[in-house]
Amino acid sequence: MPIKRYLSGLQPSGDLHLGNYFGAIRQHVANQDDAFYFIADYHALTTVRDPEALRRNIRDVAATYLALGIDPARSALFRQSDVPEVTELMWLLMSVTGMGLLERAHSYKDKKAHGILPSVALFAYPALMAADILAYDTDVVPVGKDQVQHVEMTRDMAQHFNAFYGDVFKLPEFRLGTPEPVPGLDGQKMSKSYGNTIPIMARGKALKQLIMSIKTDSKPLEEPKNPDTCTVFAFYALFADEAQREAMRARYLGGNYGYGHAKLALLEIMNDRFGPARERYDHLLAHPDEVDDLLRQGATRARTVAQGVLGRARRACGLD
């Protein structure tokens, strides 16, 4: 059975957090053979206006991916903007895409509902995402639950194009990272927009302060606690194996175990998971030329595929 090609991207809009890790990055590391993972700097332009911050964020995302286990020898890691074929492909897709499809995008409707006037780029966001996916003959897109719609819209656009011009685009499938969104410090979905994130590379006093700030109820130490309604336990369960989860559950239900104890256990298990990655991350940020070189190599590999797909689409439209 042939290896399926995976593709996904993350915006360089700030520190990557646990929601990014469990929703996407963990799957990216597990599926690297013939995979394409890009840093979505074009998408980030809808929110990031500081060019120096964008450059810094791009390198930070790349260093985080590499530190967590992305191997450039197995998968292509690259900047979205280093593959210009994608933006031309987006225009070809938009030529057969109805306004109604874009108007149904959750991100666009959410901005309007909150009284925010979205830009043209935000309105066309699903079309660029579709081009990102279709440009590499992608089979599988690992996503969080809130991103499933974008893959479905990509399939719609590809089917519309294929209906006009023949069998040009492969139809991708989605694969969920975590069944439910990762909770934030306040129990809501973890999101930079809500200011409730735990950065993957946080450490030391800063990490401990974040973990100690996780909201809990006010049950006293001696009283049994419900692990199924506790955000601290939800975090711990993401990192723990089955035996560790059951042991923690027993401590909750047995009483004489406080939320402070649970938070320290969470801190320990997070440090165990990310300790080696943090050392690699620090090395990469101290050697930016190494990071930039790996991104250029990834872009060269990605462009080779994208040029073939774009050429196929151009010929189908009559633009050859």
How far, in Å, are 73, 83, 159, 301 from residue 296 at the CA level?
A: 13, 10, 32, 9
Domain count, the chain: 2
% the chain with pLDDT above 70: 98
Pair (142, 248) in one structural domain: no
Pair (244, 302) in one structural domain: no
Concerning whether 111 is annotated as a catalytic residue, the answer is yes
* pTM attached to this predicted model: 0.90
pLDDT of residue 2: 67
> Tens digits of per-residue pLDDT, 7-65?
999 999 888 999 999 988 998 999 899 999 999 999 999 888 999 999 999 999 999 99
pLDDT of residue 181: 81
Pair (19, 159) in one structural domain: yes
Write down the catalytic residue from 111, 145, 215, 219.
111
- Residue closest to 158 by CA, chosen among 169, 167, 166: 169
Residue 1: is its pLDDT beyond 60?
no
> Tens digits of per-residue pLDDT, 272-298?
999 999 999 999 999 999 999 999 999
Pair (24, 171) in one structural domain: yes
Pair (272, 306) in one structural domain: no
Q: Which of 31-40, 108-117, 148-157, 193-202 has the lowest mean pLDDT?
A: 108-117
Q: What DSSP line would sit under 49-69, residue for residue?
A: --HHHHHHHHHHHHHHHHHHT
Residue 249: is its pLDDT beyond 60?
yes
> Tens digits of per-residue pLDDT, 165-196?
999 999 999 988 666 789 999 999 898 878 99
Concerning whether 219 is annotated as a catalytic residue, the answer is no
Of the pLDDT bands very low, low, confident and very high (cuts 50, 70, 90), residue 115 is: confident
Do 278 and 219 form a contact (C-beta atoms < 8 A)? no
* 3-state secondary structure (DSSP) of residue 38: strand
Q: What is the CATH number of the domain that holds 129?
A: 3.40.50.620
Residue 3: is its pLDDT beyond 80?
no
Pair (111, 130) in one structural domain: yes
Concerning whether 112 is annotated as a catalytic residue, the answer is no
Average pLDDT on 244-257 reads: 97
Write down the catalytic residue from 170, 189, 215, 219.
189
Assigned domain for 1 exists: no
Pair (218, 252) in one structural domain: yes
Assigned domain for 187 exists: no
| Integer Cα distance of 1 and 33 in angstroms | 14
Question: Cα–Cα–Cα angle for 242, 207, 21, nearest 5°?
Answer: 50
Pair (43, 133) in one structural domain: yes
Domain encompassing residue 100: 7-182+288-317
| Integer Cα distance of 226 and 320 in angstroms | 64
Pair (219, 105) in one structural domain: no
| Integer Cα distance of 156 and 169 in angstroms | 11
Pair (129, 97) in one structural domain: yes
